[in-house]
Amino acid sequence: MTDLNQTLFDRAAQVIPGGVNSPVRAFRAVGGTPRFVQRAQGAYFWDANGQKYIDYIGSWGPMILGHGNPVVLEAVQKAALDGFSFGAPTEREIELAEEILKHVPSMEMVRLVSSGTEAGMSALRLARGATGRNKFIKFEGCYHGHADALLVKAGSGLATFGNPTSAGVPPEVVRDTLVLEYNNIATLEEAFKLHGKELACVMIEPIAGNMNFVRASVPFMKRCRELCTEYGALFVFDEVMTGFRVALGSAQSVYAQLIPGFQPDITVLGKVIGGGMPLAAFGGPRAIMQQLAPTGPVYQAGTLSGNPVATACGLATLREIAKPGFFDALSARTQSLVDGLTTAAAKAGVPFSADCQGGMFGFFLLPELPHNYAKVMTSDSPKFNKLFHGLLDRGVYIAPALYEAGFVSAAHTEADIAQTVSVAAEVFAQL
């Protein structure tokens, strides 16, 4: 039988670099043919061959209600009838801003943009503009979008500045980007001692979903906060992935439960707040946010920012997930997946560790959870690839790379989880 995914992939490769519009979709890490999605509903999607999959990517996080949620669909259809884009303000932008601020109290004002990259890039510019400083810290294994200054890998020594990760990024542009090991308090303190007074911000993924699933430890998070406050640097939480995904109050609410009074200065959001439409945001205290144009000197703009259809989608999504009990149910479902996989791996004698928060999870083919990027990369990647294809062949779609998190939606049923665990048990037995 002709593989229609392969036919489409070959055709795509003629007109789109690598056949995809975002590199990870090409299955380069795991090999094989990407699935071209024909349609999706609830927890499932169907590929070009008509094959059905249980979807644990959910557009890399946004689809927290599952695909085609009727309430969201109705809101989007209604908004579309009223017009696609005006380049003028609308009431719905205020409603969405109010809804976001209601749940994330560290933010007093928010600016809406169209992608996580744009939000992260703008948050960095704002932090630099508001502090009048240029240098900043990011951590190895954290991804903050593909803006030049953020595409940096770690330097070689302690507290050294990084090297560009991508061709086309001039070394001068990343000269002020300091890349440190995640969860390493000693190097953090050293960096502040050397550069603290020149630091505009520390940017972090509080639960890093771009090295699968790695939590910032409580002592590390606490130290980041203390040092930022002491040296006048802003603490920027990139919650593009974790925002409204790990809890209604986002990852910062999880840390606030563990560290009394804890708050970041600036928060970057994306994914869930758009419900699958191109929408992202960044926000923080009024005094900082008013540094943005038109009230302040930090320029930032966008033709499609606050798009009426995207805001309708995001607003309907946020209102659904804010209903009582939503996160309890989602967390329980995600936990049962993680527990099921852990038990199945143990039965098969496969080294395995896993973690989750809210509707986000990660697992490693390692006996213990890793705490930084170097440890994540000790995962057995040929074994992961076998696991990935074993699951895929049996209708379970997880991220095609071992350094990506997974997502459970409200549309995943206990039966979906049980089916996934039983399929995984079969594959574990063959690893």
Q: Closer CB to ligand PMP, residue 159 or residue 224?
A: 224
Helix 326-347 vs helix 308-321: crossing angle, to nearest 10: 80
Count of C-beta atoms within a 10 Å radius of residue 357: 20
Residue 260 Cβ, how far from ligand PMP at the closest point, in Å? 26
Q: If we measure between CA atoms, which residue out of 29, 110, 106 comes closest to residue 306?
A: 110
**Separation between Cα atoms, residue 265 and residue 29, nearest integer Å:** 36
Q: Closer CB to ligand PMP, residue 254 or residue 423?
A: 254
Going by C-beta distance under 8 Å and a sequence separation of 6 or more, which residues neighbour residue 326?
248, 320, 410
Tokens of 24: 């990870």
Classify strands 52-55 and 396-397 as parallel, antiparallel or unpaired. parallel
Residue 70 Cβ, how far from ligand PMP at the closest point, in Å? 25
Ramachandran quadrant class, 96 (left: phi over 0; alpha: psi -120 to 50; beta: rest): alpha
Q: Closer CB to ligand PMP, residue 47 or residue 239?
A: 239
Burial of 172 from C-beta contacts in 10 A (0-12 / 13-18 / 19+):
exposed
Which one of the listed residues 143, 182, 373, 403 is annotated catalytic? 143
Residue 115 Cβ, how far from ligand PMP at the closest point, in Å? 4
Check if 222 is active-site. no
Which one of the listed residues 55, 238, 265, 416 is annotated catalytic? 238
Residues that bind ligand PMP (CB under 6 A): 60, 115-117, 120, 143-145, 205, 209-210, 238, 240-241, 270, 280
Q: Closer CB to ligand PMP, residue 69 or residue 242?
A: 242
Residue 205 Cβ, how far from ligand PMP at the closest point, in Å? 5
Question: What residues form DSSP beta bridges with 45?
Answer: 40, 53
Check if 102 is active-site. no
Q: Closer CB to ligand PMP, residue 270 or residue 362?
A: 270
Q: Closer CB to ligand PMP, residue 146 or residue 394?
A: 146
Residue nearest to ligand PMP (CB): 116
Residue 22 Cβ, how far from ligand PMP at the closest point, in Å? 7
Check if 193 is active-site. no
The answer to whether 119 touches 270, Cβ cutoff 8 Å, is yes
Residue 50 Cβ, how far from ligand PMP at the closest point, in Å? 29
Which one of the listed residues 271, 373, 403, 416 is annotated catalytic? 271
What are the residue numbers of the active site? 143, 238, 271
